[in-house]
Chain A
Amino acid sequence: MPRLTDTVAGHAPAIALMGIDKRFGEVRANSNVNLTVASGSVHGIVGENGAGKSTLMSILYGFYEADRGTIHIHGNEVRIRSPKEAIAVGIGMVHQHFMLVEPLSVIDNVMLGAEGGAILAKGEAQMRSALAQLAETYGLVIDPDAIVGDLPVGLQQRVEILKALVRGADILILDEPTAVLTPDEAEQLFVLLRTLAAQGKTVILITHKLNEIMAVTDHVSVMRRGEMVATLTTAETSPAQLADQMVGRHVLLDVSKGPAKLGPVRLSVEHLVIRDAHSSLRVKDVSFDIRAGEILGLAGVAGNGQSELLEALAGIITPTLGSITLDGLDLITLAPTPAERRENGVLHIPEDRQRMGLVPAFSAAESMILGFQSDHAFGTGPLLSTAAIQTHTAKEMDLYDIRPRDASLKTAKFSGGNQQKIVLAREIEHHPKVLLVGQPTRGVDVGAIEFIHKRLIALRDAGVAILLVSVELDEIMSLSDRIIVMCGGVITGERTPETTNDRDLGLLMAGVTERAA
């Protein structure tokens, strides 16, 4: 509430959010968030994945309605129940994934939904003059008759910005706008954003790249775990301070672990290159080893190649180049499929348990055998014994304290933590040599987090080689024996928990490779 006074006296702020709460089931995505954005400024919002940035902006743009709290636009309280209402109060949004019709021209795309009547000619003439004017005011020059699909990504983004501006937006939200841009295009975007602000528009920039915040914003707000933890003047802060704020103080969960009893190298990854389905490079020449009895933490902001790396190790996607060896066995040629990796003791707790680790429509017992469905223990010959999988699941449920203890309950009805315990139980009980762990505690309640961490430590002490991929720095710091950091598909640094801190890792995650103090 007192933040309202942050702005210049007499001018109502462009946006004032007060006491915003939003829950999704058990997850509190935003709790009591206050945000004030001065008119005519560029305001950055930073935070780790899942910190609640996107939820907050979705509330502002009318995708969701807040459970509690108020929104003031230029001093007037408004209710925004849909994007249409957001546009009506002057808010425009440029999404990370463009909402453009590629085979149509720029003018067609800009007009879409604002055609101005059944006859196009009149609306089109108006739109052309509006575009010409925007080009003059903001230097937003673009050929209105160019086909959008032919334009480079940077210009496609301009079309999105134009769409918002011609609809009268004077508050522009950009969600990770540079994720798809080359550095050069990003630079041009920043010039445009500064011009827009200078002409009185208000810009909100959501990003996790700290150097962008430093380069273009006037103020920056930091979110962490659904809360707004700080709003700072950019000129008075530093990337290191922001990294501190993003990650928070050492709220280390109480994980007691002894020194690692290192065995021989189990899994060895050399010069791995991975392209995705659109043949863009996701992982660029990555090499590392994991020894028996060691937890190797892989830190990084989501979307920097960790997911692809994990899937390539599990056999789900095939790398373009490089080698993966397990105890000297070349896994890429000799055990290329997920089933063969499993047979060789490479087990996998996937990042996305809803889409990959479990089948939500299956019973808990059926999810408990996913990946091991051909096991002889679960039925002779072609048959699958319901009794056998139910008994097996009941035993695992006791061992891992999965609640409720109902093997025939639909997987989707379990809480996030209990679903994760199903996956954990399944993989651990099949005696991994190497365990690939992706986001083990995402959407998991605190009690289960501790349980999962203890299990992973116990597994490491039993000599399993563990690769832990997590966007939670606390988790990486408290569990890992060694830490590597990825940004943009390359490893930007290797540390040990003793020789690093959250700030240092935060900088590596943001691609700032020179060693912080």
Chain B
Amino acid sequence: MSTPIELPKWADVSLVPILAVIVAFLVAGLVVLGIGENPVKATVLLIQGALGSGEGIGYTLYYATNFIFTGLAVAIAFHAGLFNIGGEGQATMGGLGAALICLNLDFLPWYIVLPLAILGAMAMGALWAFIPGYLQVKRGSHVVITAIMFNFLAATLVVYLLVNVIGKPGSMSPETRVFAASAHLPYMHEALAYFGIKIPKSPLNFSFVLALLASAFVWITVWHTKLGYAIRTVGHSPTAATYAGISIGRITLITMAMSGALAGMLAVNEILGVQGRLLLEFSSGYGFIGIAVALMGRAHPVGIILASILFGMLYQGGTELSFEMPRVTRDMIVAISGLVILFAGALDGLIRRPVAGVFARFLKSGA
């Protein structure tokens, strides 16, 4: 049971996740078959919906942006041996941070208010992850437990603030007023039109570029800085970290703050990019799916981008599919995402073991 399974790196990062997705689709196909629809047709519709049109691709990448942020958040914590399950709460607080800046400063020009709003989102997300980190370092409260609690705290705090403090006066719905146009991140179709490139309208906005920059930042930080070295040492071997003079507490705090800042950037896409106001439950589960994205992407930014696009396809293609095949409801899509998570994450060994077996036999006969 406990014997580590050695695979060549390429198989580990590509073959196993791809097989996981295929197995998930086969099982989902059985379910589709069970409700009396044609699984092949459903798959074709799903892929067409996600990638078949410029608009579809725009939506897919817009969803992927959210997954990249939350996936990176989980991944960087993984490298320090931490499990940040609080992405939802950190994203929610990120929304609050962005909104507080925008509500108070959106009379300023965009080149001042937008950077401040992005920093606000990152700072509040970082704070909401830093506190569980601090409690673990100082009080020994496990970060998983406190981070989950902080998801609820963030949700209720934002409800309270939207209803009582920063909500739009005279409105029945718990949301803020719409921010001024200067506090709105440009859509990609707007930005590219400025350069004379025409693409179809979609919610895809400048956050996608930020997500790619964040991926590069995580890649450099984890593998090419002294801080990243310390983070990975703590993650692999706390005893070796102590020996090397690396403070485990300090690394825990820094990593949690970075992780929270990345989760908080989900608000940049949703609040600054699309909604233009703070409203309830905009994080809608992206924080949790970020865990699956990080697992599937092997906690590597390139893997996370690919896994995010896959989940973006599932979201967008699934929506289209439920239009075309009313019997395949939105819930079916959630179920398929669940299966991907199951096979890529929890049942990883299920795929890895036979693959490793095949490799072992192959190597033996080759030698």
- Interface positions of A (Cβ within 8 A of B): 314-316, 337-340, 342, 348, 350, 352, 355-362, 366, 369-371, 373-374, 378-379, 382-386
Contacts and interface: CB of A to CB of B under 8 A. Distances in A.
A383 B225 contact: yes
29 contacts: A315-B245, A316-B242, A338-B243, A339-B245, A340-B245, A350-B243, A352-B239, A355-B239, A355-B240, A356-B237, A356-B239, A356-B240, A356-B242, A356-B243, A359-B240, A360-B236, A361-B236, A370-B233, A371-B245, A373-B244, A373-B246, A382-B225, A382-B226, A382-B227, A383-B225, A383-B226, A384-B224, A384-B225, A384-B229
Which of under 10, 10 to 19, 20 to 34, or 35 or more describes the interface residues of B?
10 to 19
B234 to A, nearest CB: 10
B119 interface: no
B312 interface: no
B228 interface: yes
Chain A binding surface, main DSSP class = loop
Contact of B224 (A338, A357, A383): A383
Given A359-B237, A383-B224, A314 B232 contact: no
Given A359-B233, A362-B232, A370-B240, 15 more contacts: A314-B243, A339-B244, A358-B240, A359-B237, A360-B236, A371-B244, A371-B245, A373-B229, A373-B246, A378-B226, A379-B225, A382-B226, A385-B224, A386-B223, A386-B224
Contacts of A337: 245
A358 B246 CA distance: 14
B230 interface: yes
B302 to A, nearest CB: 17
B225 A355 contact: no
Contact of B230 (A348, A357, A362, A373): A373
A362 B236 contact: yes
Interface in B216-259: 223-230, 232-233, 236-237, 239-240, 242-246
Contacts of A350: 243
Contacts of A383: 224-226
A339 B246 CA distance: 8
Nearest to B230: A373
Given A355-B240, A359-B240, A384 B226 contact: yes
A290 to B, nearest CB: 21
Contacts of B237: 355-356, 359-361
B240 A373 contact: no
A315 B230 CA distance: 18
Contacts of B236: 359-362
B244 A338 contact: yes
A340 B223 CA distance: 25
A374 B233 contact: no
B147 to A, nearest CB: 25
A322 to B, nearest CB: 21
